[in-house]
Amino acid sequence: MISFNYETDFKLPNEDVLSKWISSIITLHNCKEDEISYVFCDDDYLHKLNVQFLNHDTLTDIISFDYSVGKNLQGDIFISVERVEDNAKDLGLTFKEELHRVIIHGILHYCGFKDKTESDAKQMRLKEDEALSLLQPML
């Protein structure tokens, strides 16, 4: 089950569509959906988590806590709406485009994709693009 939670005034306008899309990407990668919780928050909220749990004193757009067991996906994905908005401007994208990319990025990590090396980052970007192309007809 995918749930969307909010620690800020932001609210997704199309939770049902996004939930179905995320589920379809999980299935596409031969994984099983368990409890996946998205928490949308502001920079301050996510910064505190970054310092407390990862010992990183920086702003970030997403932090995911992966509790998956094998291909049974479960975890908490925290997304800073403020950071996504700033990144979208910097990248010349709409807020919605960048938000969707960040949403699926966390799931792709749970599915086993990495992004630490240049090669892995290219593969991750390819998987993000594939997932985003599947979302467009659903919107």
CA 108/CA 114 separation, integer angstroms: 8
pTM: 0.94
Give the CATH class of 2-138. Answer: alpha beta
In sequence order, the 6+-apart residues with CB closer than 8 A to the CB of 9 are: none
The domain spans of the chain are 2-138
Is 109 marked within a binding site? yes
In sequence order, the 6+-apart residues with CB closer than 8 A to the CB of 105 are: 62, 124, 128
| 137, two tokens | 């007809």
The predicted structure's pLDDT at residue 49: 94
Quick check: 32 pLDDT over 90? yes
Per-residue pLDDT tens over the stretch 51-100: 998 888 989 999 999 999 999 999 999 999 999 999 999 999 999 999 99
Is 115 marked within a binding site? yes
Whose tokens are 């749970």? That residue is 110
